[in-house]
Structure 1
Amino acid sequence: MCLGESAGIEKVGVLVVGAGPTGLGAATRINQHGLKDWLLIDQADEAGGLACTDVTPEGFLFDMGGHVIFSHYQYFDELIDAAIGSGPEAWNTLERVSYVWIKDTWVAYPFQNNISALPAADQIKCLTALADAKVANTVAQTKPKNFDEWIMRVMGAGIADLFMRPYNFKVWAVPPSEMQCEWLGERVATVDIDRAISNVINHKEDAGWGPNAVFRFPLEGGTGAIWKGVAKLLPQENQRYGPDCGVTHIDKDSKVVTLRNGKRIQYDALISTIPLDITLRWAGKPELADGLTHSSSHIIGIGIRGQCPHGLKCWLYFPEDNCPFYRTTVFSHYAKKNCPEDSAKLRTLCLGDASAPPDSQAEEGPYWSLMFEVSESYCKPVNMEAVALAGATWPAIVKDTLIGALNTKLISAQDQVVSVYHRRLEHGYPTPSVGRDAVLTEALPFLRQHGIWSRGRFGSYKYEVGNQDHSLMLGVECADNVLFGGKELTLSHPNIVNAKKNTELLYATKTFLQSHN
């Protein structure tokens, strides 16, 4: 592809940095409009971004977090079906079965609707505090100032202290008092006090809440297969991958991006999914960057020989301090090919209690797997000291996670662990901090004035539109804005796009998509 050269600088009309869902959405939309002068680059070896999938040497697949497919957009649905196929030949459709492990028992998710599973004393504490909160919220004259105040007003001290406060600290790695509450939307279930009382009296499990009660997952290749498939729909000559494509600096004034290999690319418009805090420092706005908060994520996986003991469970929540992880996904349940074939012969690396196996001779399966998520921040450090485990050296958090899985009865002491995985993501969650919106109100228009559209999970720092469908549409709508001044509904109005499936947000896509089926 000839994009033009001048004084050693490559020139391009639209440069897209990052081949995750947002970058791929932008590139797809630009390509649909027939523009030829664009380039998509990523420092990874293939497309996927934070939605990629890794494979262990033993053949176990692990996503970079608990990704599942549920959508607010027809555009998104049609594109991913074009990428990997549609129907049961390409997808598993699963019903969400989620629980909270607390006080040595499983409580159906969402916790606040299922306090009937708790001991009687805790039920009384939760219901009494819930009634008090309802009264206090009714007479309140102001909105909650932060997430913690929202929890107290909506759920009361009982649910707050048992679950919401400890769990959310484990997820976000900052206290809820440091977070705003405008991001909540469909993310957190509120409580109907009459329903809660009825569930207690009738001993009823009430687990149907939420937009992801039914979700899809690829039959093979994990979540990453979706985005590699989307990339294949695009002209390969407009895409570049690998470490040399990593961006080391953006000069906002000359509109030049410098790559790790020293090459420079000049653009007319830049769609960047680089974390906004990094971009702002390059742009000479460190004071704005300092106003943004993120947590890091540790993804830890174990592959185990035997039959999975957890039935139809999908993902599970852990608010207590007997384990370092806040969420575990029974990843083998999502797709059979997330694990090696049963006939594959693998040796036991360690037992469930982290001890050495009596015999490490390779044996056949079947196999199952668990994927854990651990957060890290300035106020929630993670132990990264090197320790011996499974015949290798791992960060201590990996061994702590294995012991936590034993403590929470996810595995037994005699389970045979045949694969171990760990990856740290510096930018894991964009924190909806109390001061975030003030930063975004200044930062995004500032960059836009210099030809930079910063979009995506971390490009625009809006967790409330950070799912895969949202992220793709942030890119699609951004491309329309770059080319034609189109409105960016997902970026500007999260509550609208999260209110219902937006079949009215139709684009001229069917001809393009059908041509690739």
Structure 2
Amino acid sequence: MIIDSNETPGGLASTDVTPEGFLYDVGGHVIFSHYKYFDDCIDEALPKEDDWYTHQRISYVRIKNIWVPYPLQNNVSILPQEDKLKCVDGMIDAAIAARTATDKPKNFDEWIIRMMGEGIANLFMRPYNYKVWAVPTTKMQCAWLGERVAAPDVKTCVRNVILNKSAGNWGPNATFRFPARDGTGGIWIAVANTLPKEKTLFGKQGEVTTIDADAHKVTLKSGKTIGYKKLITTMAVDQLAEQMQDKELVNLSQGLFYSSTHVVGVGIRGERPERIGDKCWLYFPEDDCPFYRATIFSNYSPHNQPGESVKLATQIIADGSKPNSTEPKEGPYWSIMLEISESSMKPVDQANILRDSIQGLINTDMIKAGDEIVSTYHRRFDHGYPTPTLEREGVLKELLPKLQEKDIYSRGRFGSWRYEVGNQDHSFMLGVEAADHIVNGAVELTLNYPDFVNGRKNTERRLVEGAQVFQNKATDQADAHVATSNGTKEVTTRERAPSKTASSSHARKSSKTVK
């Protein structure tokens, strides 16, 4: 049985539609997968070639009134001369210091300094990451980084500075897919449509009020109770503890930190400007705008905004003035989606967030003061980013096993609270692997070995015996992890989990594609 208080499937990977017909995802979502199984599932749900668009990522950092290709640390050659020198000096200092370093960075800020130096840290990494995470980099750990942050190649950067060249595309999402219709949420509606309706409860029917772990019983707002043997929950684990009314778990979960996300959308009449071109998503480290990221959402699919023949009234001129006429007129239209973080350490002026966002778009030359805005959107998501604070692992290593002892598997972006495995593919597979573990004793690789699953394309099915071989690969990789310092090799060892065996019938059953 699947129970979800949202009216539609998808959670934080859902899509809203404005009254004027503009689509906005819950933040910037694209499909780039680490799992063949995930690909198979969404391809089964959306099987036609015209169900998808494939894009080359075109991303920039807006800084010093110029567009620097992403990632900035690989493209310092584009910066003004003084900033260019500070960045190169910092990278050289960091490379020299790394030769004598004997310990690992204690936090994200130290990692930035060691990998990139003070120049890039002060110009981009510190201000940008504060805008994203809504906490200082000194309060974040660095085990979550994995493939998400590019470490600069000093020789290449210096060569590009001398030759005045920029670096090529980088990153796990350099190419990505996006659904042609219905936004990201359309994927999960299509997946849910493959499930038996009598086994799903959405919307008001799916609102949970309490979870009685001792009685293995969930009580819904309607008064209905549902018993369970094993419970997989993707609600935020701090909220789960409250619904369980377990004081020990509530107190423990208070050691976790998160930021809220505001998603702001702006629909504009007119041809997409040449300066915007085919840009995908863009980064904003400076304080001339409240948002840290902007996505040109109309570039992902022509169905993300109304057709050119649709007549819409101008609601406001970008500079805040009233339009000369409110008579509906035809398009064409294009749209921008913005993300703004909020926390107790970074408050937001919610009453004026739309006004400030539009002004920020003008400040950064994304739109012009005279542009006609025909649609606006604003929604706040209380749990936006699960913050990898210094305290996080200590809490999770105690909290998640305590829940599992009660037959509760807390998984997903906020269920397991590990940002490094919090994308759509990760969140999906956290659920798949939890179910496989419950039914067949298979290893939960994504939860327990995030570095391993992020470092490869996982093409194996989850055979029980195969999963043990897969786990051995992961632990062998961890055992062989080498940290180089002072020219010597320091080997970290970890205890391998005990092997699980299974019958051949279980192995055969788990090798089939789940439908």
Instruction: Provide TM-score, normalisation by structure 2.
Output: 0.88
- Structure 1 residue 504: Cα displacement: 2.5
- Answer yes or no: is 1:111 the counterpart of 2:96: no
- Structure 1 residue 506: Cα displacement: 5.3
- Structure 1 residue 360: Cα displacement: 1.2
Of 426, 438, 442, the match for 2:382? 426
Equivalent-residue separation in structure 1 for 2:9 and 2:168 (angstroms): 35
- Structure 1 residue 399: Cα displacement: 1.0
Q: Work out whether residues 110 and 207 of structure 1, in 8 Å CA contact, stay in contact via their aligned partners in 2.
A: no
Trace 1:344-363 onto structure 2 (pairs within 5 A): 344-363=310-329
- Structure 1 residue 291: Cα displacement: 0.8
Structure 1 counterpart of 2:116: 155
SS in 1 for 2:251: helix
Letter aligned with residue 309 of structure 2? S
Of 69, 85, 96, the match for 1:135? 96
Structure 2 counterpart of 1:231: 192
Of 374, 384, 389, the match for 2:350? 384
Structure 2 counterpart of 1:366: 332
Of 42, 45, 48, the match for 1:80? 42
Trace 1:399-438 onto structure 2 (pairs within 5 A): 399-438=355-394
Equivalent-residue separation in structure 1 for 2:373 and 2:168 (angstroms): 32
Deviations 1:306-354 (A, max 9, x none): 1111111000000000000000000000000000011000000001112
Deviations 1:275-333 (A, max 9, x none): 01112333322221111000000000011111111111000000000000000000000
Of 21, 29, 33, the match for 1:71? 33
Q: Which moved more, 1:119-128 or 1:135-144?
A: 135-144
Of 297, 320, 326, the match for 2:292? 326
Equivalent-residue separation in structure 2 for 1:510 and 1:293 (angstroms): 38
- Structure 1 residue 179: Cα displacement: 0.5
Structure 2 counterpart of 1:275: 236
Letter aligned with residue 301 of structure 1? G
- Structure 1 residue 509: Cα displacement: 8.7
Equivalent-residue separation in structure 2 for 1:168 and 1:93 (angstroms): 28
Equivalent-residue separation in structure 1 for 2:191 and 2:440 (angstroms): 23
Q: Which moved more, 1:311-320 or 1:274-283?
A: 274-283
Deviations 1:86-110 (A, max 9, x none): 43x1111000000000000000000
Q: Work out whether residues 266 and 377 of structure 2, in 8 Å CA contact, stay in contact via their aligned partners in 1.
A: yes
Q: Work out whether residues 461 and 511 of structure 2, in 8 Å CA contact, stay in contact via their aligned partners in 1.
A: no
- Answer yes or no: is 1:308 the counterpart of 2:269: no
Judged with a 3 Å threshold, the aligned counterparts in structure 2 of structure 1 residues 510 and 338 are, in CA distance, closer, same or farther, namely farther
Deviations 1:343-397 (A, max 9, x none): 0000000011122111111000010000000000001011123xxxxxxxxxx11
- Answer yes or no: is 1:291 the counterpart of 2:255: yes
Q: Work out whether residues 28 and 295 of structure 2, in 8 Å CA contact, stay in contact via their aligned partners in 1.
A: yes
Q: Which moved more, 1:244-253 or 1:429-438?
A: 244-253
- The runs of 5 or more residues in structure 2 that have no matched partner are 464-508
Q: Work out whether residues 92 and 335 of structure 1, in 8 Å CA contact, stay in contact via their aligned partners in 2.
A: yes
Structure 1 counterpart of 2:501: none
- The runs of 5 or more residues in structure 1 that have no matched partner are 1-38, 386-395
Q: Work out whether residues 462 and 511 of structure 2, in 8 Å CA contact, stay in contact via their aligned partners in 1.
A: no
- Structure 1 residue 470: Cα displacement: 0.8
- Structure 1 residue 121: Cα displacement: 0.7
Equivalent-residue separation in structure 1 for 2:67 and 2:457 (angstroms): 32
Q: Work out whether residues 93 and 215 of structure 1, in 8 Å CA contact, stay in contact via their aligned partners in 2.
A: yes
Q: Work out whether residues 264 and 354 of structure 2, in 8 Å CA contact, stay in contact via their aligned partners in 1.
A: yes
Q: Work out whether residues 294 and 427 of structure 1, in 8 Å CA contact, stay in contact via their aligned partners in 2.
A: yes
Letter aligned with residue 275 of structure 1? A
State the structure with bigger RCO (CA 8 A, min sep 6), 1 or 2. Answer: 1
SS in 1 for 2:433: helix
Equivalent-residue separation in structure 1 for 2:129 and 2:510 (angstroms): 39
Equivalent-residue separation in structure 1 for 2:461 and 2:355 (angstroms): 47
- Answer yes or no: is 1:475 the counterpart of 2:437: no
> What is the alpha-carbon root mean square deviation over aligned residues?
1.4
SS in 1 for 2:77: helix
Instruction: Provide TM-score, normalisation by structure 1.
Output: 0.88
